[in-house]
Amino acid sequence: MTSISSTSYTGSLSSYFTSLIENIMTVEKQPLERLTSQLDTLKVRSAIYSDVKTKLKDLQTAAFNLTSTSYAAKLIAGRTAEVSGVDDGKTVLTASASKNAVAGTYNITNISLALQHRISSDVQTYTNQALGYSGNILVGGAAAKSATLVSSADDTVAGFGTAEVASGQSQLGSSSYFVETREISEGVWEFRLVDEEGKAVSIKDASDGDEYTSDWQTIPTGGGVYDSGRGLTITFGADSELYIEKSRGGEPNPASEVAYVAQGATIEIKESDSLETIAAKINDAKLADGNGIRATVIGGQLILASKDTGLGHDVEIYDVGAGRVLKDLGILTEENAIKNELQAARNATFYVNNIAIERSQNTGLSDVISGITINLAADAEGRDATITVTETTTSARTAVEDFINYFNDLQTYLEAKTGVTATSEDEDTGKKTYTRGALADDNVFNDLRSELFSIIMNEYSNDGTYSRLREIGITIDDSLKLNISDSDLFESALSSNLDDVTALMDKVMGQIDAKLAVFTGVRSDSDYLDNVTINLNNEISEVDSDIDDMNEYLSDRELYLYNQYAQIQSQLISLQYMQQMFASISGTSSYNLFA
């Protein structure tokens, strides 16, 4: 929207004429003021409709999530995991449970923690002075990556190879990997790469080379060489009709296995390097996942430790060629064996209800007990603990309370925007002044408020024992606020008859979802608010255009008036000069027209 531009008139008018023009323009601007006021009203109304849609969508989402058909259904029994049987001052382990965990007691016994591999150099005289050693060393892998087929090359997976690691990606660690395959529909095959413990590995998405995924993905049409982007390639057979389903450890069709050896990093050691410099160079090396090494200097010794715990994560370090830096440091023997092993790598082992478990790490153990994640603490060695999983209705109650809050928030907002309220009262006459809400003329929202209240209070037939929300302790109070009025009744219903509560909620919330969908367009072909907003925006554009036209007119009009009155003033001045001349000739006094 433009504003009135300043006039291009550069002359000087008397205050009489400028005042006259200002008065004229004040009258002329009245249509502009009406248009501006109309525009402001339209913009406020548009903002209100936007706010209403947000509140309706929030309520709709909360309602939909209280139905059993929601992809994010929240009216379900949750699970809590408590750890007991631990000595005072000890942690031993922590545990968390998802909704899929089975309630029960799980005894975790005879815990042995996973350990990292740790080696050291001999003690050096100085740690921050040049050692005088030079040569190249190889850390964290072999001189070149390799992929060796271990088993099961056939028409599904014909073989493996190596390739460059994609930019921004880390190389696969040295380990065994398995290609699992499955047919999800006629002729449509998927695969994924899993490690030795059966965990899916993140690799390039065959359908989108910029993305990486650990999920199942479609085998490229026609098979051929697939590049994982992480150093390993997989060659699939060309004829999908010959593919078979395979899984790691599955019988009779075990997944194709490859022994992958990661390429390490070659580091140049100079005579001027100190022990601290060598440690820094090792720490700066970019190594494959699972092959990482952390170098520290302690007590005059270079300490090298694998970043990962568990078997298969040993520190790999070699002298290159005829170099002997590592031998001179006392890290390797003359036979290239580790000279000073401080700690051997070890897997974590423990029992769950007398079932033996072994894992390479101590934390994030989500595949031991279904639905439970276990983290072994640093003080768990040789100790026991008990995990008790119980059902809880906390998340279900929270979901209902969220719905109630959104419901009340919407009703309060609509009441303010659709109502007519007294804003002042004359003390003498008692006459009141009323203010109409911005949506007072839109009966659609008055009707919506009433319909939502009716849905909440209605009776519903269903497969459960409850037919009204008030039967589970949810009511509308005297101030028209929805609330859990009987907390004990509500908790009892959730804990004892959750299926019946769900059956009732499917009816009530299903109707609310359907009612609001007409306004929001979510799960509906109709979108009332979008249509209203489009019409409002069109009207705003038209008024904006009218304001621009009016500003242009007023600018031209003001310039016209200045020019017109300038001419009049010029003529009057000429007349005044003539009068003065005649007065001078006749000897009479003159009269100032602009006095």
The enclosing H or E element of 150 equals strand 146-151
In a domain, 138, yes or no: no
Q: Is 449 helix (H, G, I), strand (E, B) or coil?
A: helix
How does DSSP classify residue 322?
T
Length of the chain: 595
d(CA 121, CA 333): 10
Cβ atoms of residues 17 and 568 within 8 Å: yes
Q: End-to-end CA distance of the chain, in Å?
A: 42
In a domain, 551, yes or no: yes
Tell me: cis bond preceding 252? Omega within 30 of 0 counts: yes
Q: Where are the beta strands (DSSP E) in 450-515?
A: 474-476, 482-484
Same domain, 399 and 498: yes
Beta carbons within 8 Å of 432's beta carbon, 6+ residues apart: 422, 424, 425, 426
d(CA 394, CA 333): 61
Domain end among 237, 261, 285: 261
In a domain, 542, yes or no: yes
d(CA 287, CA 174): 11
In a domain, 415, yes or no: yes
Q: Is 8 helix (H, G, I), strand (E, B) or coil?
A: coil
pLDDT in tens, 196-231: 989 999 999 998 888 999 999 999 999 999 999 999
Residues 280, 319, 265, 315, CA torsion sign: negative
User: In the structure encoding, which two tokens stand for residue 280, read together?
Assistant: 């820094």
Cβ atoms of residues 395 and 107 within 8 Å: no
Same domain, 64 and 154: no
In a domain, 594, yes or no: no
Find residue 296's DSSP bridge partners.
Answer: 303
Q: Is 321 helix (H, G, I), strand (E, B) or coil?
A: coil
DSSP per-residue codes, 498-536: HHHHHHHHHHHHHHHHHHHHHHH-TTSS--HHHHHHHHH
Same domain, 387 and 401: no
What is the pLDDT averaged over residues 373-387? Answer: 98
- Decide if pLDDT at 51 tops 50: yes
Nearest CA to 205 among 193, 188, 187? 193
Cβ atoms of residues 131 and 124 within 8 Å: yes
Same domain, 403 and 516: yes
Same domain, 128 and 60: no
Residues 32, 33, 36, 42, CA torsion sign: negative
In a domain, 10, yes or no: no
Same domain, 109 and 123: no
What is the pLDDT averaged over residues 23-30? Answer: 92
Same domain, 402 and 549: no
How many C-beta atoms surround the C-beta of residue 123 within 10 A? Answer: 12
**What pLDDT, on the 0 to 100 scale, is given for residue 569?**
87
The share of the chain scoring above pLDDT 70, in percent, equals 96
Same domain, 275 and 321: yes
In a domain, 6, yes or no: no
Q: Model-level pTM?
A: 0.70
d(CA 121, CA 183): 53
Per the listing, tokens 């500003």 go with: 551
Same domain, 176 and 160: yes
Same domain, 202 and 351: no
**What pLDDT, on the 0 to 100 scale, is given for residue 44?**
86
Domain count of the fold of the chain:
5
Same domain, 507 and 399: yes
- Decide if pLDDT at 97 tops 50: yes
Q: Between the CA atoms of 4, 8, 13 and 16, what dihedral angle is there, to the nearest 10 degrees? A: -20
Write out the residue range of the structural domain in which residue 163 sits: 146-261
- Tell me what the pLDDT averaged over the chain comes to: 92
Q: What are phi and psi of 240, to 5 degrees?
A: -65, -20
In a domain, 140, yes or no: no
How does DSSP classify residue 72?
T
**What pLDDT, on the 0 to 100 scale, is given for residue 589?**
55
d(CA 32, CA 19): 20
Same domain, 34 and 56: no
* Residue 1 pLDDT grade (very low, low, confident, very high; cuts 50, 70, 90): very low
